[in-house]
Structure 1
């Protein structure tokens, strides 16, 4: 959140500063600054969109503790049986450890860094190791936060919110994956929407 505020102020400040300079310089200087004006405005708007997700991330982290997971399967493209295409992580079902649940990167903004480090023949040697072990806080049946290990394996970085689409899109019927009422209530406390506290029978 702090870095996002710094970025927001920096892009806006640079835009305003160059605009001020251009008013006291020849007209051709404006054209020199034009690439920054366009890109700076884009980055400023991009930074603004991060705040709602940062607050959602904070809510998830207040509800769930960090877990440090080793060897979490990941990949590119469509996960078999998943509703959405995209890069994904595969987690164990908390209620049925023998079952696997995918969490897909539905929100692609800020996911390029992760894209380059997922399990794939195209992944450069050494990059996959940058997200091993994986930090995870949440419940894969609903939502969670993934992060890469920081320096020395501490202070997770590159935090990203993952979620099952029905929790934030009323057009879909939520799936509780056999979760009990306590797990459903915890997910609602973490920010999940459209969930009934009455658990659905597992398939």
Structure 2
């Protein structure tokens, strides 16, 4: 890759637009399914509500997951506007709890690694990354970002963009990582949307 940032690569912008289209379509689909559920409830006997209620709860959960995925699009673009792609540096592993783990070298100490994860929640078992890693189709990924804070992983191309982050980089209730991180690295992470604390 010869681009200063991932976003400068036309293939990356195309992949982001494709991801945005897919995620927005999924969200709209789950919202429309609520109206289909409502129609089914109205058109069937009242005693069937006992069966329809669990369907509603499942639909609400998947709609929330779709909403979170759509909300992550802005963060994905923000990371890609700061960091370049590093091809094939992220090792991808499947964990026992059903989640996927991305193991990336520490930028300041390449002999050490940092792990980021995705999945592990109810309803994420069918996510592309979880399925592909479990099946053994993927063992490495492209990575843009700083694994101590936030990043984006992708399959070669790039395709199947996914924003990943350390919890302390996104949760304001937690203390952000400072030890062993240079001021320049923290400034870049802040520009990419991570919580890095005060200088």
TM-score (norm. length: structure 1): 0.67
- 8 Å Cα contact 2:176/2:195 also seen in 1: no
1:19 aligns with 2:38: yes
Q: Partner residue of 2:143?
A: 136
| Residue segments in structure 1 that go unaligned for 5+ positions in a row | 79-85, 198-203
1:98 aligns with 2:111: yes
Match runs of 1:66-105 below 5 Å:
66-69=85-88, 72=91, 74=93, 76=95, 87-105=100-118
CA RMSD of aligned residues (A): 3.4
Q: Partner residue of 2:11?
A: none
Looking at structure 1, the residues matched to 41 and 174 of structure 2 have their Cα atoms a distance apart, in angstroms, of 51
Q: Partner residue of 1:62?
A: 81
Q: Partner residue of 1:41?
A: 60
Which of the pair has the greater relative contact order for Cα pairs under 8 Å at 6+ separation? 2
Q: Report how many residues are paired.
A: 177
Q: Partner residue of 1:178?
A: 180
Which has the larger share of helix? 2
User: Higher Cα Rg: structure 1 or 2?
Assistant: 1
Closer, same or farther: CA 172–36 of 1 in aligned 2, 3 Å? closer
Deviation at 1:61, TM superposition (A): 1.6
| Residue segments in structure 2 that go unaligned for 5+ positions in a row | 1-19
Q: Partner residue of 1:9?
A: 28
- 8 Å Cα contact 2:102/2:116 also seen in 1: yes
Closer, same or farther: CA 12–52 of 1 in aligned 2, 3 Å? closer
